[in-house]
Structures are given as C-alpha cells and as structure tokens.
Amino acid sequence: MDFTDALTITGLGMTVVFSGLLLTAGLIVAFGLLQRLMDGAADAGKGSIPAVNPPSASGPVIDPEILTVITTVLEVERRLHRVRVRENREIADE
C-alpha cells in the first residue's frame, strides 16, 4: 500500500464518520423541532394560554445564621476559582 493510498483511505474514513455525526445531530434537531410543533399544535387546540404558577416557598425556614454561612462559603469558593483562573491565564501567557 502506498502512502497516498493510506491517506486516501484515512480521508474517506474520516469523511464517512463525520458525515454520520452530522446526520445524527441533524436528526436530533429535527426530532426536537417536531416535538415543539406537536406541542404547539396541542396548545393551539386548547385555545388558551396556560398560566404559569410561581414556585411556592413551602420548604422549611432556613435560619439566617446558616444562610449567612452558606453564602460566605459560596463567595469564598467563587473568589478562589477566579484567582485560580487568573493564575492559569498568567501561566499560559508566559
């Protein structure tokens, strides 16, 4: 087998694989659109727009001190993440 034959077979194989992936992605999008059309047709048949109910606050009441601790921990984690991202960018720029 020649080098050009190997490259041709490799190129054809990659073309087939990526064509299959594109077709699969297209089918997924098409099924999503079909589902939206079916839902839209079902909603149009009802003749009214469904009301959106706000979420209810029926859970247990959280102690303000506990809520403060949770908020503080999340803020510290967010700031640490930003520092790590900044350090990684500086390392990548070097």
Query: 0.85 cut: is pTM over it?
Result: no
pLDDT digit of tens for each residue in the chain (94 aa)?
899 999 999 999 999 999 999 999 999 999 989 988 888 777 766 655 556 666 666 777 888 899 999 999 999 999 998 888 878 877 777 7
CB within 8 Å of 43: residues ≥ 6 apart: 49, 50
Domain that includes residue 10, residue range: 1-46
| 41 plus 66 within the same structural domain | no
Q: How many domains does the structure of the chain reveal?
A: 2
In a domain, 53, yes or no: no
> Is 89 part of any domain?
yes
- 66 and 35 co-located in one domain: no
Q: Note whether residue 55 is domain-resident.
A: no
Three-state DSSP class for residue 55: coil
56: in domain: no
The 3-state secondary structure of 10-66 reads: HHHHHHHHHHHHHHHHHHHHHHHHHHHHHHHHHHHHHCCCCCCCCCCCCCCCCCHHH
Whether residue 2 is found in the same domain as residue 38 = yes
The pLDDT of residue 61 is 82
- Give the pLDDT of residue 90: 78
